C-alpha cells in the first residue's frame, strides 16, 4: 500500500479517538517494516495512549526524536500536526517527492535513519469530551483525588444543541455588556455603558451546590494539569495549581515519563499546544544569562528555522511566557525533557491568531493573552464572520436553568477559531510544522566507524586500532544541560575475538567518552570571520587492542543513546577503509 499524497483526514478535521486510532493502525498495518504502534498506557476511561515509531527496523536503537500533541483537552490541533509529522516521516521512505519543500537527497538519507516517535494525543479523554460537547477541559475531565467537595461548575449541554457555550444571567451588578454589532459577543463593561448588564458562566450546572453560592468558574483548580505533573522542578499544590499529588501521579503523564526513561536515544522533543503562534524554549525558571551558552546558540538556530519554516517567533519560557513576571511554572514537560533527558526540547503554541488579527507583538509575548481589549474583540468577531464561517458566536436564547432559574444560553464557543485553527487552515499548519520538525531531526548525532588499522608488532602480535566518529550536528550527550546525568553515558568499544585472542582480556571493553558534533548553533564566536576555527578532532575517538594469533575480531561501538555500529575484522587483516557495518 503506497502512502497517500500527504493528505490524511486529520489535515481537514479534528479526529475522534476512534478515527485517530484507525489512522495509526492503518499506517502500522500497511508498513510493518517501517512503523510500530504501541499503547504506552490506558486512561481512566479506557482509551489507549498511542505511540507510533517510524524508521527501518523500528526496534533497533539509534538516535530518535519525539513529538506529542493534545496533552490539554481543548488543544486538538496538536494531534493533527503530530500525525502530519508521522506522515512526513513515512513519506521520507515511501514518497520523498511528496514532502513539502526542497529536501536534498543527502539530508533525506540521514533522516531515514532517524527514529520518529509520535504520540498524537496524550489526553484522549479530554479531547473526546471537547469533541463531543465542547466546553473547557484543561487536561482531562476528572478532578484530582481528595479534592474538597466545594461548589464548582460542571460543563453540560443544557439546550441540546451539541455544544457547550455560555450562560448569561441578568444582573444590575453584572460585569459584561452585549456588543450592539455582533450578536453573541460579550464585552467587558465600562463605566459609561448603559444597561442591561450580565454575568457570564459556562453552560452547565453547579456541582455541590448549596442553593446560594454561585462560584467563579476556575478550570485550573482541583483538576490535574498534565503540564505541571512532570518531575523536573515539580512543586506541590497549592504552590503550583494542577500539580497533582506527586510527579507522574496521572496515568497519562506516567506513561510518557516511563517511555522517556526507557528510550535514552531521544535527542529532540516537540510538545504541541495551542494557541498563539510561538515556540517556547528553555529556560523556564531563569533568564538567558544563566543558561548554558552552547545550548542558547543551538536554540538560536532552531529559532531561525522556526521563523523561516513555520512563521513563528521563539521566546524564552522565563523571559516572555511566565504568567507573572519572575514566577516560573513548575513540573513542565519540556523542562523534564531538556534538563533530565538531554533533549533539544520546546513547546510550540500552534495557531497564530494574534498575527492574523493584525495585533502588534507586545514586549512579553504572553501579554497577548491579557491585553485583548474591546476593539480587538470586535475585530475577532469580524474575522469570525469573514474567515471562520461564524463558528465562534451564536445569538442568545432563553433557558430555564435547573439551579439559577431564567438565564440565556449561547454566545461564544472558542473551540474552533480561538483554541484551535479553522480546519481550512490545518493543511498549511501541518505542512509547515512537519517541515520544521524534519529539519530539527537533521541535527541528530550519527555514529560511524571511520577506519580500521591492523599493524604487525612481531612475534605473532598485532595492534588493532579502530577510529570511531560522530558525523552529526549534535554531540553524543545531546544538550549541555544534561551532559553530567549519570545515565547519559559516553561511547564504549567492545572487542570479541574468535580463533585469535586478546593479549589483555581486561581491555576488551574500553570507555571512549562523549563525541562532539560539528554544529555550534548560531552566534558562536568560532564562526565569526575575524577568527574562524574548528574544535579539532574531538568528534573522534580511538580504541586499540593487541591481538595474538589468527582469526577474526568483532568490534562493537555504541552507547545507550547512539545505538551500536559494528564490524568484523579478519586477523591478520588489511588496513584501509572498513567494510560494511
Asked whether the CA dihedral 237, 72, 438, 33 is positive or negative, the reply is positive
Q: How many CB atoms lie within 10 A of CB 151?
A: 14
Which residues are CB-neighbours of 417 under 8 A, at least 6 positions away? 353, 384, 388, 391, 392
- Pinpoint the residues of the chain covered by CATH 2.60.40.10: 447-571
Full 3-state SS string of 71-99: CCCCCCHHHHHHHHHHHHHHHHHHCHHHC
Which residues are CB-neighbours of 204 under 8 A, at least 6 positions away? 135, 153, 154, 155, 156, 158, 164, 167
528 near 233, Cβ under 8 Å? no
- The Cα 126–Cα 134 span in angstroms is 10
447-571 folds as Immunoglobulin-like (2.60.40)
Given this model, what pLDDT does residue 581 score?
Answer: 38
Asked whether the CA dihedral 324, 346, 88, 53 is positive or negative, the reply is negative
- Pinpoint the residues of the chain covered by CATH 3.40.630.10: 9-130+223-351
Per-residue pLDDT of the chain (581 residues; tens, 9 = 90+): 456 555 679 999 999 999 999 999 999 999 999 999 999 999 999 999 999 999 999 999 999 999 999 999 999 999 999 999 999 999 999 999 989 888 999 999 999 999 999 999 999 999 999 999 888 888 888 888 777 788 889 899 999 998 999 999 999 999 999 999 999 999 999 999 999 999 999 999 999 888 888 988 887 777 899 999 999 999 998 888 888 899 999 999 999 999 999 999 999 999 999 999 999 999 999 999 999 999 999 999 999 999 999 999 999 999 989 888 778 889 999 999 999 999 999 999 999 999 999 999 998 999 898 888 899 999 999 999 999 999 999 999 999 999 999 999 999 999 999 999 999 999 999 999 999 999 999 999 999 999 999 999 998 899 999 999 999 999 999 999 999 999 999 999 999 999 999 999 999 999 999 999 999 999 888 888 889 888 999 999 999 999 999 999 999 999 999 999 999 999 985 444 343 33
Distance of CA 567 to the CA centre of its chain: 36
Per DSSP, the residues of 45-65 read TS-EEEEEEESSSTTS---EE
Query: Could you tell me the pTM of the whole model?
Result: 0.93
Torsion angles phi and psi, residue 379, rounded to 5: -65, -40
C-alpha grid cell for residue 31?
508498513
189 near 197, Cβ under 8 Å? yes
Which residues are CB-neighbours of 386 under 8 A, at least 6 positions away? none
C-alpha grid cell for residue 242?
494542577
576 near 450, Cβ under 8 Å? no
For the domain 9-130+223-351, what is the CATH superfamily, name and number? Zn peptidases (3.40.630.10)
DSSP 552: E
Give, in order, the Cα–Cα distances in Å from 519 to each of 107, 281, 522, 539, 557: 15, 19, 9, 11, 22
Amino acid at each position: 500500500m503506497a502512502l497517500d499524497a500527504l493528505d490524511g483526514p486529520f489535515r481537514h478535521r479534528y479526529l475522534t479517538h476512534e478515527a485517530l486510532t484507525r489512522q495509526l493502525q492503518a499506517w502500522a498495518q500497511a508498513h510493518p517494516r517501517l512503523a510500530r504502534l504501541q499503547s504506552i498506557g490506558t486512561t481512566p476511561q479506557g482509551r489507549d495512549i498511542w505511540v507510533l515509531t517510524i524508521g527501518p527496523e523500528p526496534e533497533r536503537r539509534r538516535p530518535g526524536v519525539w513529538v506529542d500533541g493534545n496533552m490539554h483537552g481543548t488543544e486538538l490541533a496538536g494531534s493533527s500536526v503530530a500525525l502530519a509529522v508521522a506522515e512526513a516521516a513515512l513519506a521520507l521512505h515511501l514518497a520523498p517527492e511528496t514532502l513539502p519543500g526542497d529536501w536534498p537527497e543527502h539530508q533525506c538519507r540521514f533522516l531515514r535513519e532517524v527514529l520518529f516517535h509520535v504520540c498524537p494525543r496524550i489526553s484522549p479523554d479530554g479531547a473526546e469530551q471537547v469533541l463531543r460537547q465542547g466546553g473547557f477541559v484543561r487536561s482531562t475531565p476528572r478532578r484530582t483525588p481528595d479534592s474538597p467537595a466545594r461548589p464548582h461548575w460542571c460543563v453540560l449541554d443544557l439546550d441540546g444543541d451539541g455544544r457547550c457555550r455560555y450562560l448569561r444571567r441578568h444582573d444590575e451588578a453584572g460585569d459584561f455588556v452585549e456588543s450592539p454589532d455582533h450578536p453573541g459577543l460579550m464585552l467587558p463593561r465600562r463605566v459609561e455603558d448603559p444597561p442591561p448588564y450580565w454575568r457570564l458562566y459556562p453552560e452547565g450546572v453547579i456541582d455541590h451546590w448549596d442553593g446560594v453560592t454561585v462560584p467563579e468558574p476556575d478550570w485550573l483548580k482541583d483538576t490535574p494539569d498534565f503540564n505541571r505533573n512532570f518531575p523536573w522542578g515539580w512543586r506541590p499544590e497549592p504552590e503550583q495549581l494542577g500539580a497533582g499529588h506527586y510527579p507522574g501521579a496521572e496515568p497519562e503523564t506516567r506513561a510518557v515519563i516511563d517511555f522517556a526513561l526507557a528510550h535514552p536515544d531521544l535527542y529532540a522533543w516537540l510538545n504541541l499546544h495551542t494557541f498563539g503562534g510561538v515556540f517556547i524554549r528553555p529556560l523556564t525558571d531563569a533568564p538567558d544569562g544563566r543558561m548554558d551558552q552552547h545550548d542558547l546558540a543551538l536554540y538560536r538556530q532552531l529559532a531561525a528555522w522556526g521563523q523561516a519554516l513555520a512563521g513563528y517567533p521563539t521566546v524564552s519560557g522565563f523571559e516572555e511566557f511566565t504568567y507573572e513576571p519572575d514566577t516560573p511554572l513548575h513540573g513542565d514537560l519540556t523542562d523534564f525533557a531538556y534538563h533530565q533527558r538531554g533533549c533539544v526540547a520546546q513547546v510550540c503554541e500552534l495557531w497564530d491568531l494574534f498575527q492574523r488579527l493584525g495585533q502588534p507583538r507586545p514586549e512579553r509575548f504572553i501579554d497577548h493573552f491579557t491585553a485583548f481589549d474591546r476593539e480587538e474583540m470586535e475585530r475577532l468577531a469580524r474575522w469570525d464572520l469573514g474567515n471562520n464561517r461564524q463558528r465562534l458566536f451564536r445569538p442568545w436564547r432563553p433557558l430555564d436553568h435547573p439551579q439559577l432559574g431564567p438565564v440565556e444560553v449561547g454566545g461564544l464557543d472558542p473551540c474552533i477559531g480561538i483554541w484551535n485553527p479553522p480546519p481550512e487552515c490545518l493543511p498549511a499548519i501541518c505542512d509547515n510544522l512537519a517541515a520544521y520538525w524534519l529539519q530539527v531531526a537533521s541535527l541528530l548525532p550519527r555514529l560511524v566507524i571511520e577506519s580500521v588499522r591492523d599493524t604487525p608488532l612481531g612475534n605473532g602480535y598485532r595492534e588493532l586500532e579502530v577510529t570511531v566518529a560522530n558525523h552529526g550536528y549534535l554531540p553524543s550527550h545531546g544538550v549541555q544541560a544534561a551532559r553530567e546525568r549519570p545515565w547519559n553515558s559516553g561511547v564504549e568499544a567492545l572487542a570479541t575475538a574468535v580463533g585469535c585472542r586478546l593479549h589483555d582480556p581486561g581491555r576488551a571493553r574500553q570507555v571512549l567518552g562523549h563525541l562532539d558534533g560539528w554544529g555550534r548553533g548560531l552566534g558562536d564566536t568560532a564562526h565569526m570571520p575575524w577568527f574562524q576555527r574548528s574544535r579539532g578532532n574531538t568528534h573522534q575517538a580511538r580504541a586499540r587492542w593487541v591481538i595474538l594469533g589468527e582469526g577474526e575480531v568483532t568490534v562493537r561501538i555504541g552507547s545507550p543513546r547512539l545505538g551500536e555500529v559494528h564490524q568484523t575484522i579478519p586477523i591478520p587483516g588489511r588496513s584501509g577503509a572498513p567494510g560494511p557495518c
